[in-house]
Amino acid sequence: MADDALPAAPHTVDEWVKSYEEGGPLRGFRCPDCGLITATWSLACPSCGHIGLEEHALAATGRVVAFTLLTVPGDEFLNDAPYAYVVVALDGGGRITGWMPSVRTEEGVRIGERVRFHPSYKPGVQFVREGDGPEENR
């Protein structure tokens, strides 16, 4: 198998994660063939199979389309549980998973609720309710 069959990634995973910690942008990809926008690290389009996706800056705002309440978290989040693990449909395209430390109960977030990205030193993509200030979260 030839190594040169795949294009080089536009950035490293470290750069990707660093942008989550330092305020963005949220990075994603756009397919030049079919226009699909995805937040998932990928070399080929999950819709049409085109190889060679273009890096695309994702919106920092969107709506919650799914969530669950995590009560048994990973080590980095031991002091944060319970909190919501959310899937957010970003404005302009792309879905991304993240977490909302301000949500403590299943009633604490609604499907369709507006949220925005808020940088955190913790792993993953932190979201807060649109309109909430950072002092109400971490």
Task: Point out which residues bind Zn ion (CB under 5 A).
Answer: 31, 33-34, 36, 45, 47-48, 50
Nearer to Zn ion, 36 or 81 (CB): 36
Outline where 1-138 has alpha helix (H): 13-21
- For Zn ion, the closer of residues 33 and 80 by Cβ is 33
Closest CA relative to residue 33, chosen from 16, 48, 46: 48
Least distance between Zn ion and beta carbon 42 (Å): 10
Shortest approach of Zn ion to residue 7 CB, angstroms?
Answer: 14
C-alpha to C-alpha distances, 96 to 22, 78, 119, 130, 136, nearest whole angstrom:
17, 22, 14, 16, 22
Residue closer to Zn ion (CB basis): 31 or 109: 31
Only one residue has tokens 């913790």, namely: 122
Residue (19 or 42) nearer to Zn ion, CB: 42
Q: Going by C-beta distance under 8 Å and a sequence separation of 6 or more, which residues neighbour residue 55?
A: 10, 11, 27, 28, 29, 30
